[in-house]
Amino acid sequence: MPATTFDVFRYQPDSSDTPYRQEFALDHSDKVTLLDALLQIQDEQDGSIAMRYSCRSAICGSCSCKANGRTVLACMAQVEEIKEADGSDTIQVDPIGNFAPVKDLIVDLDPFWEKFRSVKPYLIPDGKAPEKERIVSKEAMNKVYNESKCILCAACYSECNSLAADPDFVGPAALAWGYRFAGDERDGQRKQRAKLYSGEHGLWDCTRCMYCNERCPKGVEPRDAIEKLGGVAFREGVSWGDAGARHARAFLVSVRTGGKLNETLLVPFTNPVTAPLDAPFALQMIRKGKAPSPLPHRIKKLNEVKHLMKNVKEEV
Ligand code: SF4
Ligand code: SF4
């Protein structure tokens, strides 16, 4: 029978304001999930351990926590697999990141729900409601299928670098829900949504670290949804107000016209007002060969790049 030590984050504000860690040694079956192991500890060793869970089937999204620093759904994560991945018989268990702890593994999810509500996560169709129903094709629904799989477990928020830097960032799950409806052909608010999601703390604040894609237990790929929302913002003509949007557009123009990225041109396109202040520094970098020349340059096989970009555009 395998044995594991669980090094659990404890925070019991009723008795002390100071969090601490507590180790529990457990003999368990070789197919136990992290959630079942924690419940066994709660049952046999310490009934005061607080955690959220409900369905035990990766559907309710309640039991997300960190195992050895990586956010998982406790009901999906196999104890033996975690140990094997990290080469250790001890598993550190922590509450999810980027949220204030309330008690042990329970965190305050209010900011998460506020952000979720802020993106208007429901269909807002134009015109009069049909007598029976709005028919939509399978192909059209496939475009938002990934985003529809979200179970609101907040694992992506736990890993999000932008949220760590800016707690007001609307975040990956809410934006994935935004695309769920902005990408739905029955919705009549595409432009309004593009404006709503492109504002301060919105989609352009994502650092593209990809951790949300990596840790999402349901394959929602929220970073991809944010990418698609950026496309909606461009198509709806609401992408000039934000430096992130201008940066993305400058990137695109640079590759389309020259066949490669010209980093030197990104600065004036992204921040036209403050860019002159960076001119002496930029000139110094160019002189030392640390930055490409801002003069137009085209690669020989520019047509191949354009062809590639056209294919990608058609696929999206
Ligand atoms: S996008 Fe994935 S990780 Fe984020 S809340 Fe939804 S299911 Fe959880
Ligand atoms: S890719 Fe963007 S939204 Fe996803 S975790 Fe990184 S910063 Fe957050």
Domains of the chain: 3-107 (3.10.20.30), 110-235 (1.10.1060.10), 243-315 (no CATH)
In short, whether 174's Cβ falls inside 6 Å of ligand 1 is: no
Decide which of 207 and 297 is more confident: 207
Ligand nearest the Cα of residue 170 is: 2
| Cα 84 to averaged position of ligand 2 atoms, centre (Å) | 27
- Spacing of C-alpha 129 from chain mean position: 34
Ligand nearest the Cα of residue 62 is: 1
Decide which of 149 and 301 is more confident: 149
Cβ distance 179 to 189 under 8 Å? no
3-class SS of residue 4:
strand
Ligand nearest the Cα of residue 155 is: 1
Q: What whole-number distance in Å separates Cα of residue 21 and Cα of residue 124? A: 47
Relative to the CA of 172, which ligand 2 atom is closest?
3
Report the relative pairing of strands 64-67 and 90-94 from DSSP bridges.
antiparallel
User: Model confidence at 77, in pLDDT bands (50, 70, 90)?
Assistant: very high
Give the mean pLDDT of 263-277.
76
pLDDT of the residue at 80 = 98
Judged by average pLDDT, the poorest of 29-38, 124-133, 186-195, 224-233 is 124-133
Q: What whole-number distance in Å separates Cα of residue 255 and Cα of residue 184? A: 30
The token duo for 15 is: 């008795």
Which of the 8 DSSP states describes residue 180?
Answer: H
Give the mean pLDDT of 297-302.
84
Q: What whole-number distance in Å separates Cα of residue 287 and Cα of residue 2? A: 62
The token duo for 195 is: 């404006």
The token duo for 141 is: 């629904």
Residue nearest to atom 2 of ligand 2 (CA): 206
pLDDT of the residue at 99 = 98
3-class SS of residue 299:
coil
Out of 55, 113, 151, 215, mutate this one to test ligand 1's pocket (max ligand atoms within 8 Å of CB): namely 151
Judged by average pLDDT, the poorest of 3-12, 206-215, 249-258, 265-274 is 265-274
Relative to the CA of 64, which ligand 1 atom is closest?
8
Burial of 225: CB neighbours in 10 Å, binned 0-12, 13-18, 19+: buried
C-beta atoms surrounding 301 within 10 Å:
10
The token duo for 199 is: 């504002």
User: Model confidence at 25, in pLDDT bands (50, 70, 90)?
Assistant: very high
- Spacing of C-alpha 305 from chain mean position: 29
Cβ partners under 8 Å of residue 82, min gap 6: 34, 67, 68, 72, 91
